[in-house]
Amino acid sequence: MAMSFFDQFASTSYLGIPLIAIAIALPWVLYPTSTSRWVNNRLITIQGWFVNQFTSQLMLPLNLGGHKWALLMASLMIFLITINMLGLLPYTFTPTTQLSLNMGFAVPLWLATVIIGMRNQPTVALGHLLPEGTPIPLIPVLIIIETISLFIRPLALGVRLTANLTAGHLLIQLIATAVFVLLPMMPTVAILTAAVLFLLTLLEVAVAMIQAYVFVLLLSLYLQENV
């Protein structure tokens, strides 16, 4: 029983096609595309308003050089929110519970921010490794610590997203299993547990959106240090 709880995170295949590929490609099919008409429908209007509001808030602390990342950040945000939300539906697979996928997003984007900083302003980028006013005996130790913290950033991005979504899915499955077990024996307790499960599902919906926002927000902060 304990091992079966983790079966939902296994990437399965159907007719030789990995389902994780379908789950990754599905969000782009669901969103409507803009038309050449002068007046769009309500769905496209709401979608455009959300993307504009998010992009403006995300790019607010960045200078004009960082605004080149607006399309990438907005697309990543929408993609992560969509696959996180779709993973809450029954009989679905959540790709963002896989650490390899999250690290595949985190490492290249973090590395791009570091390369941009080293290319555009190497002195400032290297200056982050040593805080101003550091005593001379502590300089080697602080440089090592700051370098380690710099390389831990992409790992923290990927692990944070994976751990939060995995914990939420496991908790939902545990409580749902408890509801089915308690229903024949103690119906009242089962109903109360089902109410807790409903509230937890609402919380997990919020977590799915917040974690996607935090992932992109931290990337924008890393970018802000290097542009």
Tens digits of per-residue pLDDT, 12-60? 667 777 777 777 877 777 776 766 777 677 777 887 888 888 888 888 8
Question: Which of 4-18, 64-78, 126-140, 187-201 is predicted with the least confidence, judged by mean pLDDT?
Answer: 4-18
Write down the pTM of the prediction: 0.83
Look at 65 and 217; give whichever has higher pLDDT: 217
Which uninterrupted H or E stretch holds 91?
Answer: none
Q: Please give the residue that has the higher pLDDT: either 116 or 93.
A: 116
For tokens 């002195």, what's the residue? Answer: 123
Share the mean pLDDT of the chain.
84
Rounded mean pLDDT, 123-131: 79
pLDDT score for 160: 92
Percent residues over pLDDT 90 in the chain: 23
* Positive/negative CA dihedral, 79, 69, 164, 46: negative
**According to the model, what pLDDT value does residue 21 have?**
77
Most confident of 38-47, 61-70, 217-226: 217-226
Q: What is the DSSP letter of 223?
A: H
Of 1, 31, 7, residue with least CA distance to 169: 7
The Cα 102–Cα 106 span in angstroms is 6
C-alpha–C-alpha distance, residues 129 and 225, integer Å: 12
Is the pLDDT assigned to residue 163 strictly greater than 80? yes
